[in-house]
Amino acid sequence: MNQMTRTDDALQRPSYDRSDRFYIENGEWFYLTREQIPIGPYASQQEAEDGLNAYIDYMQVEAE
Protein backbone atom coordinates (compact mmCIF):
# COMPACT_ATOMS: atom_id res chain seq x y z
CA MET A 1 0.00 0.00 0.00
CA ASN A 2 1.18 3.49 -0.76
CA GLN A 3 1.00 5.71 2.29
CA MET A 4 0.38 9.44 2.15
CA THR A 5 -0.04 11.90 5.00
CA ARG A 6 -2.88 14.40 4.93
CA THR A 7 -1.74 17.90 5.86
CA ASP A 8 -5.07 18.84 7.45
CA ASP A 9 -5.12 15.84 9.79
CA ALA A 10 -4.18 16.97 13.30
CA LEU A 11 -2.95 13.50 14.23
CA GLN A 12 -0.98 13.07 10.98
CA ARG A 13 -2.30 9.56 10.52
CA PRO A 14 -1.31 7.84 7.28
CA SER A 15 -3.95 7.58 4.58
CA TYR A 16 -3.82 5.03 1.82
CA ASP A 17 -4.07 5.40 -1.90
CA ARG A 18 -7.73 4.98 -2.81
CA SER A 19 -6.99 2.21 -5.28
CA ASP A 20 -5.81 0.07 -2.35
CA ARG A 21 -9.21 0.38 -0.68
CA PHE A 22 -11.17 -1.68 -3.23
CA TYR A 23 -11.49 -5.43 -3.42
CA ILE A 24 -13.78 -8.02 -4.92
CA GLU A 25 -15.18 -10.96 -2.99
CA ASN A 26 -17.55 -13.56 -4.43
CA GLY A 27 -18.19 -11.30 -7.43
CA GLU A 28 -19.16 -8.29 -5.29
CA TRP A 29 -17.14 -5.11 -4.78
CA PHE A 30 -16.27 -3.56 -1.42
CA TYR A 31 -14.12 -0.73 -0.15
CA LEU A 32 -12.37 -0.24 3.17
CA THR A 33 -12.70 2.89 5.26
CA ARG A 34 -9.61 4.39 6.90
CA GLU A 35 -10.63 2.43 10.00
CA GLN A 36 -10.51 -0.77 7.89
CA ILE A 37 -14.30 -1.23 7.96
CA PRO A 38 -15.56 -3.00 4.83
CA ILE A 39 -18.44 -1.24 3.05
CA GLY A 40 -20.47 -2.97 0.34
CA PRO A 41 -21.38 -4.99 -1.52
CA TYR A 42 -21.56 -3.13 -4.82
CA ALA A 43 -22.25 -4.60 -8.25
CA SER A 44 -19.19 -2.98 -9.85
CA GLN A 45 -15.95 -1.27 -8.95
CA GLN A 46 -17.36 2.01 -10.30
CA GLU A 47 -20.32 1.76 -7.91
CA ALA A 48 -17.91 1.07 -5.04
CA GLU A 49 -15.83 4.12 -6.05
CA ASP A 50 -18.99 6.24 -6.14
CA GLY A 51 -19.92 4.89 -2.71
CA LEU A 52 -16.50 5.75 -1.31
CA ASN A 53 -16.71 9.29 -2.70
CA ALA A 54 -20.14 9.74 -1.09
CA TYR A 55 -18.78 8.37 2.21
CA ILE A 56 -15.82 10.77 2.14
CA ASP A 57 -18.11 13.73 1.37
CA TYR A 58 -20.36 12.74 4.27
CA MET A 59 -17.45 12.38 6.69
CA GLN A 60 -16.08 15.80 5.69
CA VAL A 61 -19.45 17.45 6.39
CA GLU A 62 -19.69 15.66 9.75
CA ALA A 63 -16.21 16.90 10.70
CA GLU A 64 -17.18 20.56 10.16
Residue pLDDT tens, the chain, 64 long? 444 444 554 444 455 566 689 999 999 999 999 899 999 999 999 999 999 999 999 999 988 8
In a domain, residue 3? The reply is no
d(CA 3, CA 1): 6
In a domain, residue 55? The reply is yes
Cis peptide before 41 (omega within 30 of 0): yes
Give the structural domain span for 46: 22-64
In a domain, residue 54? The reply is yes
* Confidence (pLDDT) at 8: 52
* Confidence (pLDDT) at 58: 94
In a domain, residue 31? The reply is yes
* Confidence (pLDDT) at 10: 46
How many domains would you assign to the chain? 1
Strand partners, 31: 22, 39
In a domain, residue 14? The reply is no
In a domain, residue 10? The reply is no
d(CA 44, CA 30): 9
* Confidence (pLDDT) at 18: 64
